[in-house]
Chain A
Amino acid sequence: MTLLEPLFAGLGQLRAHKLRSLLTLLGIVIGVAAIIAVVSLGEGLRREVISQFIFSGGAGMIEVEPPRQWVRKDGRWVRRPWEEYLTEADMAAMQREIDGLHALVPEIHGSAALQRGKTTVDASYTGTSAAFNEGFNWPVLGGRPLNADDLRLARKVCLLGDDVYGNLFQGANPLGKEILLNGDRYVVVGVLDERVRFGRSDGNIVLVPYTTAQKRLRGEDHFSELTLFVEDLDAVERVVAAVRRVLRRHHEHGDEFRIETSQGEIDDANEVFRVLQQVGGGIAGISLLVGGIGIMNILLVSVAERTREIGIRKALGAKPRHILGQFLAESVVLSMVGGLLGILTGFGFGLGAAFVIQQLAPGAPFTSIVSAESVLWAVGFSSAVGIFFGVYPAFRAARLDPVEALRRT
């Protein structure tokens, strides 16, 4: 007797009692659907959050900031006795000495009062380079990114975020047009793609060459921060150490520069979702338990109904293990069919929930991700439930006395 035969026989039983089987399966279906929905929604949400934290969508991010320059002393804010900045020398050294960098983004932040004709817009500017678009994975929609000449000559050129562009130009072609930035004339060379994080737009921004920001807007020769992107998440630690080495070499208080990695935030997010998934998993487990008891019940009914059949089979030479196998197979088939239905239901539910979330938070690129792993878990779990709850009824069937069993009608 092959392994498949009892499975087919199990399917036959299921077909013979469609409604009854379906009702029995409901518990398993709900349990597995819950596993799939929770796991796949959680996974989609987790990836989303992680990619929000580290804009580059998968690569590791390291932010470097100078120590706080101002401290409170005797009720007054005073500048620290040592003044240290992030400078171009720091950036150049990092660029030169650190392998595996995806992008190194300099940033100088400030507020920008923008004007075109009679229209005024309050936004913020970021003095940076083309590495900005690389690192933050924020493409230029039209026009061009900042180039080497812009930086070298500290040109008064800018790229507009999509909100700024919309407010100032209302859809007109902005390329080559002049706008006023804090009262000075700048030429628009490009427009940034839209960017929405957690349902809010980042598009109220203007990019200018960092040299321009340093010389013309702030009158300082340093950066607000440097952001390094590494291709390989595992390289984050190594890069942090290298950054620290550069800072120590260049600065007296190099240890006090702040270096933050995306890893901490990713860990936090992972932790939250791990808990969420555990709770979901617990719910799923309980419904699988209930489903399993349902299966046990239906199998006991099935054994009672088919006592005579068992008697006949035993009279014809079925060994206890044959009968045991027959009912276990039936139980496993039942629960696996339930598992498969549950996977489909859970998948549909995940998609539905993702859709609803997108309606509530427009623009959130939220997805439901069904991993092969979760499907394996669901199938494995449901067949384990089938075996576990099938054992007792199957044993009862296997131990029936042939003469007693045959006497039943």
Chain B
Amino acid sequence: MIPLNSNFESKPVGLDVEKIRKDFPILDTQVSGRQLVYLDNAATTHKPVAVIERMKKYYESENSNIHRGVHFLSQLATKEYESAREKIRGFINAGSTREVIITRGATDSINLVAQSFGRKFIGAGDEIIISEMEHHANIVPWQMLCESTGAVLRYIPINDNGELILEKFDVLLNSRTKLVSVTRCSNALGTINPVEYIIEKSHQQGTPVLIDGSQSIQHGTIDVQKLDADFFVFSGHKLYGPTGTGVLYGKEKYLREMPPYQGGGDMILNVSMEKTTYNDLPYKFEAGTPNIAGVIGLGAAIDYINSIGMDLISAHEKELTRYALTGLSSIWQVILIGEPKNRAPVFSFILEGIHPHDIGTILDFEGIAIRAGHHCAQPVMERYCIPATARASFAVYNTFEEIDKLVLGIRRVLEVFS
């Protein structure tokens, strides 16, 4: 297929997409007789063979419970699990694996902070700052905390381009602010936020900051120490890893002071009838048998990403972003929701008079998978006075040709409704 924007300069970025696509068996799927075009990567990414095979290998030759057996398999499983934690640590450049808590996902990680840090350090009259572009996972846990403690939730507003209004943040931040929790990148708008500024400003008055990395971790290198985030959360399944895995990075100085989140096995050192002594970090926050195969699979996903190189992935995705912007802008009926200067490969759009659900259904006939809905970010929908958007989001295995198909597909939608 000849690219629609044939005068578009496609710079070779040194990434062999065709080779990468072969690593993802699901991309061969046929949808109503057509080749799948998967553009719902912000919801979840597909998994490379390396991850699938790694989990299979675990169940075939390493399966055992961890941290509690003297036998061969248990020691093997423990070693592999802990080696995955080390891979995660390296990937985000945490100072120590004590600061890498393994969870079920970003939602679980945020709830952990809300329940543990929140209940200990946040009280009546205190304030928490989030933003209008948060995913429900970074809204509801704080609302629940506020309801039970009497704390107050404040929102950094967004401008028409879908960017945070930082001057408003400056005004919201005050001595009662006990935590700031914002997303690095919006799943509903594609905006990449200047979290460096927010962190620096908050730290000037000693307020810790949680960064939701769910939509940024897969698109670029992250160094939590350089960023100086106090907490950083993400889900494994958006990073080419398995579902049911997630990470909470936290600075040790906070984690040490925080009470356990859930009680059970693995998080204790000693339990007597009277009293329990909690385990050390990170185990204090990891009650019960975790998703061992999944976490080992996440380790394999990180190896896979490193084998390609995050810089190459970012460069490729930047090209896709530019190409998609050109393609989508070529259709005058397309209204982008969110036109930030700094954007991840995530595009929300609407078509005048055509509901996103209808866009999604018609594109599905063409084999094109996008998301239609409120993207668990209803405050964003409210802000723009729309019920929903259509969203196309890209990953390392997407191509220019697939963006051409999306553009043609949108033209088809307009035809149906003309």
Indicate whether A and B interact. Answer: no
